[in-house]
């Protein structure tokens, strides 16, 4: 099959088609209404690129490749079907790490061939080494991110002078990579590879859980770049294009997420905020004022405008369908209902949008932070469900808080605020929320599923 006369031209043309499908798919993923179709388009591109690769002249071990494809496809299909929406960020981190690791191992094996007499010019050798370096960091860093989001690693690991130590270690690994370039021996290669793997651990362990979404996005960009570099080494245009698209998209997303938190990427990597920081908003702020579900239902039923702010607690309770049922009752009562989404709500960008779309919430009811914030002063009731840090006024009012300057949804400016919360604890960033103690805020304690059910019952009884 690889001896087919027109195989090289067919491969190039197929990779060109696949690249177009990748770009179209990525473009369609930028809007909720077309995102599903975008995934399908990009998926077709990947199928084309995978199938046509079998025509590559000189390819061997077809049965091993097919066995890997079939087993990986089955595993991905089963895990994709079973994973809960709340665990999607962990799945993204894990799969991203596998991509980075694959690129790193591909580069390492190509370089290993060079230690056994296989000729490689300077540019492919240098790109392969860079791909090994960033792919290995992405692999181990993503595994640590997975562990933190999954709760397997529940703290930051820090020691005095850690950033200096990590910096020196990174320079040492890079320096050894340059030495490996000039002394291409198997032992040097594996030491360099191992050093990059260790660096991924060292970089990620001190970063708090609240920053993991940004870290995952950054490592996603690393994976894309590693794939692109190794695509150049292999002469595979589909890998080059797909890798560059992932690298560019991951870089832009990382910058947008850091901006949404009013922090630099360097601060995320070396500032270690999140997880167990207290910030400057702790202390005695007064008493939280509770409200019963029936009273909250009355407050919303007689409101002209209600803005709902969903957070991770909604995802944990899987209460999005109940929330849409409650929303329909309010709109039938003549209430103007909108949903407000913070850029980093949940555990990853788009997390809340996907939840609401799954429940059938129309896209025109969902507002971004920039559009909804000016409307809170004219809002009768802001209903916050399982969100914490993204509505914390300390980010706006308290210079001593570690989240000061982070853009927030300004729910505290609404006439009334109802917060559905499981307990009295802090949010993911470990910072107390002054919103919960304000005079216009009432707390409806309990699981989001049960609390919203109470609201539905109260609305039906009116």
pLDDT per position in the chain (462 positions), as tens? Answer: 444 455 678 888 899 999 999 999 988 887 767 878 889 999 999 999 989 888 887 778 889 989 999 999 999 889 888 887 777 788 888 999 999 999 999 999 999 988 887 777 888 899 999 999 999 999 999 999 898 888 788 666 777 888 899 999 999 999 999 999 999 899 999 999 999 999 999 999 888 766 777 888 899 999 999 999 999 998 888 899 889 999 998 888 888 877 777 667 777 777 654 444 444 444 556 688 999 999 999 999 999 999 999 988 888 888 899 999 999 999 999 999 999 988 777 767 777 887 888 888 888 899 888 899 999 999 999 999 988 888 999 888 888 877 788 888 999 999 999 999 887 766 655 678 888 999 899 999 988 999 999 999 999 987
What is the pLDDT, as a whole number, of residue 281?
A: 46
Both structure tokens of 216: 């995952």
φ/ψ region of 80 (left if φ > 0, alpha if ψ in -120 to 50, else beta) reads: alpha
d(CA 287, CA 303): 26
pLDDT, position 277: 42
* Cα torsion 217, 218, 219, 224: sign: positive
Place of tokens 């604890």: 425
CA–CA separation, 406 vs 388, rounded Å? Answer: 13
Could you write out the three-class secondary structure of the chain? CCCCCCHHHHHHHHHHHHHHHHHHHHHHCCCHHHHHHHHHHHHHHHHHHHHHHCCCCCCCCHHHHHHHHHHHHHHHHHHHHHCCHHHHHHHHHHHHHHHHHHHHHHHHHHHHHHHCCCCCCHHHHHHHHHHHHHHHHHHHHHHHHHHHHHCCCCCCCCCCCHHHHHHHHHHHHHHHHHHHHHCCCHHHHHHHHHHHHHHHHHHHCCCCHHHHHHHHHHHHHHHHHHHHHHHHHHCCHHHHHHHHHHHHHHHHHHHHHHHHCCCCHHHHHHHCCCCCCCCCCCCCCCCCCECCHHHHHHHHHCCCEEEEEECHHHHHHCCHHHHHHHHHHHHHCCCEEEEEECCCCCCCCCHHHHHHHHHCCCHHHEEEHHHHHHHHHHCCEEEEECCCHHHCCHHHHCCCCCCCCCCCCCHHHCCEEEEEECCCCCCCCCCCCHHHHCCCEEEEECCHHHHHHHHHHHHHHC
pLDDT of 57: 78
**Structure tokens given for 300:** 């919303």
Catalytic residue annotation? 389
What's the pLDDT at 284?
A: 54
Residue 195, CB-side half-sphere exposure with 13 Å CA sphere: 22
- CATH 3.40.50.1220 domain extents, the chain: 293-461
The reply to whether the predicted model has a pTM over 0.85 is no
d(CA 35, CA 229): 28
Structural contact between residues 217 and 343, judged by C-beta atoms closer than 8 angstroms:
no
> Tokens for 81?
């079907």
The CA dihedral of 16, 18, 20, 22, to the nearest 10 degrees, is -140
Q: Tell me what pLDDT residue 425 has.
A: 67
Taking every pair of C-alpha atoms in the chain, what is the biggest distance, in angstroms?
82
| CB-CB contact of 294 with 454 (8 Å) | yes
pLDDT at 276: 43
Return the structure tokens found at 349. 């960008």
pLDDT at 280: 46
Length of the chain: 462
CATH of span 293-461: 3.40.50.1220
């Amino acid at each position: 099959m690889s001896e087919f006369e027109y195989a090289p031209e067919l491969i190039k043309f197929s990779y060109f088609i696949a690249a177009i499908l990748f770009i179209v798919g990525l473009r369609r993923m930028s809007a909720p209404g077309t995102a599903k179709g975008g995934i399908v388009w990009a998926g077709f591109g990947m199928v084309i690129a995978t199938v046509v690769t079998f025509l590559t002249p000189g390819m061997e071990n077809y049965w091993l490749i097919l066995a890997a494809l079939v087993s990986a496809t089955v595993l991905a299909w089963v895990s994709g079907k079973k994973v809960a929406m709340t665990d999607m960020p962990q799945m993204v981190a894990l799969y991203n790490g596998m991509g980075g690791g694959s690129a790193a191992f591909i580069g390492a094996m190509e370089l290993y061939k060079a230690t056994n007499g296989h000729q490689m010019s300077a540019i492919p050798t240098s790109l392969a080494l860079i791909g090994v370096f960033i792919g290995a960091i992405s692999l181990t860093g993503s595994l640590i991110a997975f562990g933190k989001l999954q709760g397997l690693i529940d703290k930051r690991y820090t020691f005095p002078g850690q950033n200096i130590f990590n910096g020196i270690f990174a320079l040492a690994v890079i320096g050894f990579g340059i030495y490996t370039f000039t002394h291409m021996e198997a032992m040097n290669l594996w030491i360099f590879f191992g050093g990059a793997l260790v660096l991924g651990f060292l970089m990620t362990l001190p970063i708090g859980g609240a920053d993991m979404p940004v870290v995952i996005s950054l490592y996603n960009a690393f994976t894309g770049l590693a794939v692109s570099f190794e695509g150049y080494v292999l002469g595979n245009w589909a890998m080059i294009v797909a890798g560059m698209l992932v690298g560019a998209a991951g870089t832009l997303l990382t910058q947008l997420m850091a901006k949404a938190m009013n922090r630099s990427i360097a601060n995320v990597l070396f500032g270690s905020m999140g997880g167990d920081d207290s910030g400057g908003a702790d202390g005695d702020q007064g008493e939280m004022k509770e409200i019963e579900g029936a009273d909250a239902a009355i407050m919303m039923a007689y409101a002209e405008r209600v803005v709902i702010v969903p957070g991770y607690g909604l995802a944990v309770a899987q209460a999005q369908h109940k929330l849409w049922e409650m929303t329909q009752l309010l709109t039938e009562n003549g209430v103007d209902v909108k949903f407000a989404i913070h850029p980093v709500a949940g555990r990853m960008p788009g997390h809340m949008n996907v939840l609401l779309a799954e429940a059938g919430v129309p896209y025109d009811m969902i507002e971004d932070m920039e559009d909804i914030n000016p409307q809170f002063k004219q809002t009768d009731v802001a209903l916050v469900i399982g969100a914490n840090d993204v509505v914390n006024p300390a980010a706006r009012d308290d210079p001593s808080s570690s989240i000061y300057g982070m853009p927030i949804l300004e729910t505290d400016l609404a006439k009334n605020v109802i917060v559905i919360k499981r307990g009295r604890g802090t949010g993911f960033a470990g910072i107390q929320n002054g919103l919960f103690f304000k005079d216009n805020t009432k707390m409806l304690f309990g699981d989001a599923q049960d609390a919203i059910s109470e609201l539905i019952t109260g609305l039906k009884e009116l």
